[in-house]
Structure 1
Amino acid sequence: MIPPFASPEIEAAFDVPDSQARAGLLVLRQLIFDTAVKTPEAGRIEEALRWGQPSYLTPETKAGSTIRLGIPKGARFALFVHCQSRLIPEFAAAFPAWDRLEGTRAVLFNHPAEVEPIRHGWLIKRALTYRISPPLEIPA
């Protein structure tokens, strides 16, 4: 089930001119909510705007690190995490050479089909539980 947008301003943040970028951002948004449902320890997910980008937080448990969705300079769309966290380095170690990364802050995409639920869901789950969980096991 596709959750409604938390506000008209957040919905407007998904109105980007590039239809492939919009579709990809919506795929990532759905994956965040789907992963959150399977991750009860994260608590309720709040959708907000941070730096003008749709952002996903764990306000009640404070278990997670903020996830943001946006349009980077070097790709059509991206999933961003806090650049000073261990999230991207752990993701790169778990899934070496699978994705284009922007330093320690983002996974870059050019097409919605590049979003892979197991691999990118792993990163999302790790972000949603960043402050309460040790690094996740690499899926087989």
Structure 2
Amino acid sequence: MTPAEAKALIEGVAARTPGVGALEESVKWGEQSFAPVRRNVGSSVRIAPRGNGELALMFICHTHLVDEFRSLYPDALEFEGNRAIVVRSSGPTDLAALEHCIALALTFKLRKRGRA
């Protein structure tokens, strides 16, 4: 998956996910970052290309989103610590699982409030 494909995937998930709305694109820590424009909706998703052709989708570690993703998709996706989903340059990627994780990140604050 290229960074452009990852960007299109994130934008597509945002467009299809109720409550997310428009995304704001910025650069954080040298990486493309996408977050809902409206406040208190979700957490950011960053695209971190790797030199070996792989990329990582990065999430804010204190949200524990990657732990949630790992519990949902332990064998479908590859994780790096508590910050990232790694997308390898070779081999299949479970796009449905990846899209679900992106949607969970983009609605993190909405879901958190719903549990409160």
Provide the secondary structure at the position in 1 that maps to 2:13: helix
Residue number in structure 2 paired with 1:17 = none
Distance 1:68 1:112 in 2: 21
Residue number in structure 2 paired with 1:68 = 46
- Which amino acid is 2:82 matched to? T
Rg comparison, structure with higher value: 1
Distance 1:98 1:37 in 2: 24
TM-score (norm 1): 0.71
1:82 aligns with 2:28: no
Distance 2:33 2:56 in 1: 12
Distance 2:29 2:85 in 1: 18
State the aligned residue count.
Answer: 112
- The correspondence of residues 91-102 of structure 1 with structure 2, limited to 5 A, is 91-102=69-80
Q: Return structure 1 stretches of 4+ with deviation > 6 angstroms.
A: none
Deviation at 1:58, TM superposition (A): 1.2
Moved more, 121-130 or 25-34: 25-34
Deviations 1:3-58 (A, max 9, x none): xxxxxxxxxxxxxxxxxxxx522221111011111113012111111111000011
The gaps in structure 1 that reach 5 residues or longer are 1-22, 135-140
Residue number in structure 2 paired with 1:133 = 111
Distance 1:119 1:34 in 2: 14
**Percentage identity across aligned positions?**
26
TM-score (norm 2): 0.84
Distance 2:17 2:32 in 1: 20
2:101 to 82, 104, 123: 123
1:55 to 33, 36, 58: 33
Residue number in structure 2 paired with 1:10 = none
- Which amino acid is 1:120 matched to? L
Bigger fraction of residues in strand? 2
The gaps in structure 2 that reach 5 residues or longer are none
